[in-house]
Amino acid sequence: MFPTLAFGLLMLFVAARYALRPERRFVPLLLGLGTVTLASGALGFVTGLMATFRYVGGVAPSERYVALIGIGESLANVAFALVFVVLAALAASVGAWRIARGHLAPA
């Protein structure tokens, strides 16, 4: 989750900067950071599933339901990434709204 945190915070910073002063140069950076944030959340999910399924074989058959707990814990990575993306999208929407209203930053 640390890579998701790092990329997500960076994306939020850029999105806030774009909301305050919308400039075209930030759009590709926002898209790239959004992609990396989602990808790192997905990677955390996949590696969590891999760890869960690797160790579920050592659990008694009657207690293998614990794999569901591991899957749920792994999904926290995806939720974490999605929170960052939603917050950044809201901030970027403020920047887009400012552009639409004619509040462009001077070049």
- Tens of pLDDT, residues 54-95: 998 888 989 988 999 999 999 999 999 999 999 999 999 999
- Confirm whether 64 is domain-assigned: yes
Question: What is the mean pLDDT of the segment spanning 10-24?
Answer: 95
User: In this structure, how many other beta carbons lie within 10 angstroms of the beta carbon of residue 37?
Assistant: 27
The domain of 29 spans: 2-100
pLDDT of residue 64: 87
Whether residue 47 lies inside any domain: the answer is yes
Q: Find out whether 5 and 78 touch, Cβ atoms under 8 Å.
A: no
Looking at the structure of the chain, the number of domains it has is: 1
Please indicate, yes or no, if residue 105 is contained in any of the structural domains.
no
> What pTM, to 2 d.p., does this model score?
0.85
Distance CA(102)–CA(96), nearest Å, equals 10
DSSP secondary structure letter of residue 104: P
